C-alpha cells in the first residue's frame, strides 16, 4: 500500500482522541442535541440516541478511521488508492444518473440537469474516488458557513467580557442579535477573525498545531462545561429543566424519532465527510482502533448530555421558553445570564465554551481540505493552508452577507433561483441544507458500502487488527457469560461472536440500511 513515509503522525493516541473528539464536539452538541432531545421524548430519545451511537456511530467511525490509517491519505487519495479498476456498482449508479440528468435537461431544469448528468459522468469515470471528492467539497462548504457562526461566538465572547450582554428581555436580545448578524461589516470581520484562528493552528502542522491545541482546548472545554453544569443545576427551579430534558416520554417515540436521532448522531460525530478519514491518516499502526473510536464516541455523547444539563436548568429556572438553535443560544441564554449574579462571568464562560467547540471542529474541516491540497497537488503545508483558508473565507463572505440580505448579492440569488427554481432564505441556509441533508448522509452511506462490499471487510479487518491487541477476535460473549473455559465455547468452536464479526455484519447490512432511511427522510422522500 502507498506508505507515505514523510507523513506527519500524532504524538500518541491521546492526541488523536482529543483532536477527533474536538472535531465531533461542536455546535451540534451544544445548540442542537439538547433541544432535539427535549422535544422528542427526553430520556426516551436519549436512550435511542445512545443505541444509535453504539450500533451505527461506532462501526462507521471505525470504518472511516481504518480507511485513513490504511492509505495514509486524505479522503480523495484514500478512495483512489483502494478504488477497484472495474466496478459494476459504479456503472449501475452512473448510467441511470447520467440518463436522468439528460432527461431533466430536456425538461429545461438546467441547474439540476447539469448536476445530475455531471454526477453520473463523474461516477462512471472516477468510480469510488467520487466519494472522496464529495467529502472534500462538503468540508469546504460546511467550513464556509460554520465559520460565520464561529464568528458570532467570538463576537459574543467579546461582548460578554465587556459586560455588554445584559438584556432586559428576550426581545431586546433578539434585536441586538439581529443587528449584529445583519451588520455585514461586523459579521465579516468576526468570520475572518475566526478563520484566521483556524488557519493559525493548521498552519503549524499536526503535532505542533492540531494536536497541541487539542490538548489545550479540550481539557479547557471540559472544565468550563463542568463549572457551568454545577452553576445551572444549583439554580432554584433547575429540576424542572432536567425533567424537560431527561424525563422519558415514550409516547413521543415514532418511527421518525429513530431517523432524527440517527441524523443528529451522524452530524454530531463528524461522520460522512472525510474529517475522520483525515485524522485517521495521521495514526500510527500501534494504536488500538477499537479503543480510540469508542473513546471519541463516549466523549462526544457525554458533552451533548452535559450541554443539556447547562441549558435547560437555566432556561426553566428563569421561566423562559425552550426554543431551538440560534434563538436559544444567542437570545434566550444571554438574557438569562444578564439576570444572574456574576452574569458577565457565566456569559463569558458559556460563549468561550461554544467558541472552543466550534473552533476545534472548524480546525478539522480545514485540515481535511489542507491534507487534500498537500497530497493531491503536492503543495507544502503552509501554501495549502493559506490558499484553502483564503478560498473558504471568501466563500464564507457570501454566507455572511446573505444573512443580512440576499438582495445585496442580487446576481447570485437570481442565478440560484433560475437554475434550481427555488432558493432558501439565504446562501447560508442553502449551504447548510445541501451539506447536512445530502452530502453528509450520502458520504456516510457510500463509505459503509465501500468498506463493507468493495474494498471488503476482510482487508479492513486486517488493518483494524493491527495494534488492537487481539480484542477484535476475543470471544467476549463467552467471557461475559463466564463460559470462556467451557469446552463448548473454547477458542476452536466456530461461530463465536467476536467484535470483528459484529463489525462486519453492521458495516455491510445494518449501517447502510439505517443511513439510507435517514437520507430518504432528510430529503423528504418518506412523506410527512
Ligand atoms: N460534529 C460537528 C458538530 O457537532 C459538526 C460537523 C459535522 C463537523 N461534520 C463535520 C465538524 C465534519 C467537523 C468535520 O457541530
Q: For residue 96, tell me if it sits in a domain.
A: yes
- Residues 40 and 260 sit within 8 Å (Cβ to Cβ): yes
Looking at the predicted structure, is the pLDDT value of residue 112 above 60? yes
Domain end among 66, 98, 127: 127
Q: What is the number of domains present in the chain?
A: 2
DSSP letters of 365-432?
HHHHHHHHHHHHH---HHHHHHHHHHHHHHHHHHHHHHHH-GGGGHHHHHHHHHHHS---SSHHHHHH
Per-residue pLDDT tens over the stretch 233-270: 999 999 999 999 999 999 999 888 888 898 899 999 99
Considering the domain architecture, whether residues 177 and 239 belong to the same structural domain is answered as yes
Q: For residue 380, tell me if it sits in a domain.
A: yes
Considering the domain architecture, whether residues 28 and 75 belong to the same structural domain is answered as yes
Residue 184's pLDDT is what?
Answer: 83
Q: Which three cell numbers stand for residue 221?
A: 472545554
Residue 2's pLDDT is what?
Answer: 44
Considering the domain architecture, whether residues 221 and 191 belong to the same structural domain is answered as yes
Between the CA of 495 and the centroid of ligand 1 the distance, in Å, is 38
Considering the domain architecture, whether residues 442 and 329 belong to the same structural domain is answered as yes
Secondary structure tally for the chain: helices H, strands E: 27, 0
Rounded average pLDDT over 469-483 = 80
Ligand 1 lined by 26 (C-beta under 6 Å): yes
Per-residue pLDDT tens over the stretch 477-505: 777 777 777 776 655 555 578 899 999 99
Ligand 1 lined by 28 (C-beta under 6 Å): yes
Between the CA of 271 and the centroid of ligand 1 the distance, in Å, is 8
Q: How far apart are the first and last CA of the chain?
A: 47
Q: For residue 528, tell me if it sits in a domain.
A: no
pTM: 0.93
Ligand 1 lined by 315 (C-beta under 6 Å): no
Q: How far apart are CA 152 and CA 474, in angstroms?
A: 49
Considering the domain architecture, whether residues 101 and 217 belong to the same structural domain is answered as no
Between the CA of 24 and the centroid of ligand 1 the distance, in Å, is 5
Q: Provide the Cα torsion 492, 496, 500, 503; round to 10°.
A: 170
Residue 431's pLDDT is what?
Answer: 80
Q: How far apart are CA 119 and CA 344, in angstroms?
A: 51
Between the CA of 273 and the centroid of ligand 1 the distance, in Å, is 9
Rounded average pLDDT over 193-217 = 98
Domain end among 66, 96, 127: 127
Q: How far apart are CA 495 and CA 479, in angstroms?
A: 15
Considering the domain architecture, whether residues 351 and 435 belong to the same structural domain is answered as yes
Ligand 1 lined by 267 (C-beta under 6 Å): yes
Q: How many CA atoms lie within 13 A of 476 on its CB side?
A: 9
Q: For residue 450, tell me if it sits in a domain.
A: yes
Query: Which positions ≥6 away from 139 have C-beta within 8 Å?
Result: 273, 274, 275, 365, 368, 369
Q: How far apart are CA 64 and CA 233, in angstroms?
A: 37
Ligand 1 lined by 521 (C-beta under 6 Å): no
Ligand 1 lined by 293 (C-beta under 6 Å): no
Backbone angles phi, psi at 57, to 5 degrees: -60, -50
Atom of ligand 1 nearest to the CA of 26: 15
Q: Of 237-246, 259-268, 277-286, 398-407, give the lowest mean pLDDT range.
A: 398-407
- Residues 273 and 138 sit within 8 Å (Cβ to Cβ): yes
Ligand 1 lined by 198 (C-beta under 6 Å): no
Between the CA of 26 and the centroid of ligand 1 the distance, in Å, is 6
Considering the domain architecture, whether residues 116 and 248 belong to the same structural domain is answered as no
Q: For residue 527, tell me if it sits in a domain.
A: no
Q: How many CA atoms lie within 13 A of 317 on its CB side?
A: 22
Q: How far apart are CA 36 and CA 38, in angstroms?
A: 6
Ligand 1 lined by 270 (C-beta under 6 Å): yes
Closest among 317, 257, 309, 272 to 36, alpha carbons compared: 257
Considering the domain architecture, whether residues 397 and 417 belong to the same structural domain is answered as yes
Considering the domain architecture, whether residues 400 and 383 belong to the same structural domain is answered as yes
Per-residue pLDDT tens over the stretch 338-351: 888 899 999 999 99
CATH number of domain containing 53: 1.10.4160
Atom of ligand 1 nearest to the CA of 271: 9
What's the domain range around 117? 87-127
Considering the domain architecture, whether residues 96 and 163 belong to the same structural domain is answered as no
Considering the domain architecture, whether residues 242 and 119 belong to the same structural domain is answered as no
Closest among 526, 358, 514 to 444, alpha carbons compared: 514
Ligand 1 lined by 29 (C-beta under 6 Å): yes
Between the CA of 440 and the centroid of ligand 1 the distance, in Å, is 10
* Residue indicated by cell numbers 490504511: 70
Domain end among 95, 127, 159: 127
Q: For residue 193, what is the enclosing H or E element?
A: helix 184-203
Between the CA of 340 and the centroid of ligand 1 the distance, in Å, is 32
Considering the domain architecture, whether residues 55 and 112 belong to the same structural domain is answered as no
Ligand 1 lined by 275 (C-beta under 6 Å): yes
Amino acid at each position: 500500500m502507498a506508505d507515505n513515509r514523510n507523513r506527519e503522525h500524532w504524538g500518541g493516541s491521546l492526541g488523536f482522541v482529543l483532536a477527533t473528539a474536538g472535531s465531533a464536539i461542536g455546535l451540534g452538541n451544544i445548540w442542537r442535541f439538547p433541544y432535539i432531545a427535549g422535544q422528542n421524548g427526553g430520556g426516551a430519545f436519549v436512550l435511542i440516541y445512545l443505541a444509535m451511537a453504539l450500533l451505527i456511530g461506532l462501526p462507521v467511525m471505525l470504518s472511516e478511521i481504518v480507511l485513513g490509517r490504511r492509505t495514509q491519505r486524505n479522503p480523495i487519495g484514500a478512495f483512489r488508492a483502494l478504488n477497484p479498476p472495474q466496478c459494476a456498482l459504479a456503472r449501475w449508479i452512473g448510467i441511470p444518473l447520467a440518463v436522468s440528468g439528460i432527461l431533466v435537461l430536456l425538461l429545461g431544469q438546467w441547474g439540476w440537469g447539469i448536476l445530475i448528468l455531471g454526477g453520473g459522468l463523474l461516477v462512471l469515470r472516477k468510480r469510488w474516488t467520487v466519494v472522496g471528492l464529495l467529502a472534500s467539497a462538503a468540508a469546504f462548504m460546511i467550513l464556509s458557513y460554520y465559520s460565520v457562526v464561529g464568528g458570532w461566538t467570538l463576537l459574543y465572547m467579546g461582548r460578554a467580557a465587556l459586560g455588554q450582554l445584559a438584556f432586559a428581555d428576550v426581545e431586546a436580545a433578539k434585536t441586538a442579535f439581529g443587528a449584529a448578524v445583519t451588520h455585514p461589516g461586523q459579521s465579516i470581520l468576526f468570520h475572518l477573525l475566526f478563520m484566521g484562528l483556524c488557519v493559525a493552528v493548521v498552519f503549524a502542522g499536526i503535532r505542533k498545531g492540531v494536536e497541541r491545541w487539542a490538548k489545550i482546548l479540550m481539557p479547557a472545554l471540559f472544565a468550563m462545561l463542568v463549572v457551568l453544569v454545577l452553576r445551572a443545576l444549583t439554580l432554584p427551579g433547575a429540576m424542572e429543566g432536567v425533567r424537560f430534558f431527561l424525563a422519558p416520554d415514550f409516547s413521543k417515540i415514532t418511527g421518525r424519532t429513530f431517523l432524527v436521532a440517527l441524523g443528529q448522531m451522524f452530524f454530531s460525530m463528524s461522520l460522512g465527510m472525510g474529517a475522520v478519514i483525515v485524522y485517521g491518516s495521521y495514526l500510527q499502526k500501534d494504536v488500538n482502533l477499537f479503543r480510540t473510536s469508542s473513546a471519541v464516541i463516549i466523549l462526544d455523547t457525554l458533552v451533548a448530555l452535559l450541554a443539556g444539563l447547562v441549558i435547560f436548568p437555566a432556561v426553566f429556572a428563569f421561566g423562559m421558553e425552550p426554543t431551538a438553535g440560534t434563538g436559544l443560544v444567542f437570545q434566550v441564554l444571554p438574557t438569562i445570564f444578564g439576570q444572574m449574579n456574576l452574569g458577565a462571568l457565566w456569559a463569558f464562560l458559556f460563549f468561550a465554551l461554544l467558541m472552543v467547540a466550534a473552533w476545534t471542529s472548524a480546525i478539522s474541516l480545514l485540515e481535511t481540505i489542507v491534507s487534500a491540497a498537500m497530497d493531491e497537488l503536492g503543495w507544502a503545508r503552509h501554501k495549502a493552508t493559506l490558499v484553502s483558508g483564503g478560498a473558504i473565507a471568501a466563500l464564507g463572505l457570501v454566507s455572511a452577507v446573505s444573512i443580512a440580505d440576499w438582495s445585496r448579492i442580487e446576481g447570485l440569488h437570481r442565478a440560484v433561483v433560475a437554475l434550481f427554481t427555488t432558493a432558501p432564505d439565504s446562501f447560508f441556509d442553502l449551504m447548510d441544507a445541501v451539506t447536512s441533508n445530502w452530502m453528509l448522509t450520502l458520504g456516510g452511506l457510500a463509505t459503509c458500502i465501500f468498506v463493507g462490499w468493495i474494498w471488503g471487510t476482510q482487508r479492513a479487518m486486517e488493518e483494524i487488527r493491527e495494534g488492537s491487541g487481539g480484542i477484535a477476535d476475543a470471544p467476549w460473549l463467552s467471557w461475559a457469560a463466564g463460559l470462556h473455559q467451557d469446552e463448548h465455547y473454547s477458542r476452536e468452536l466456530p461461530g463465536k461472536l467476536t467484535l470483528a464479526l459484529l463489525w462486519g455484519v453492521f458495516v455491510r447490512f445494518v449501517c447502510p440500511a439505517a443511513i439510507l432511511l435517514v437520507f430518504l427522510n432528510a430529503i423528504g422522500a418518506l412523506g410527512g
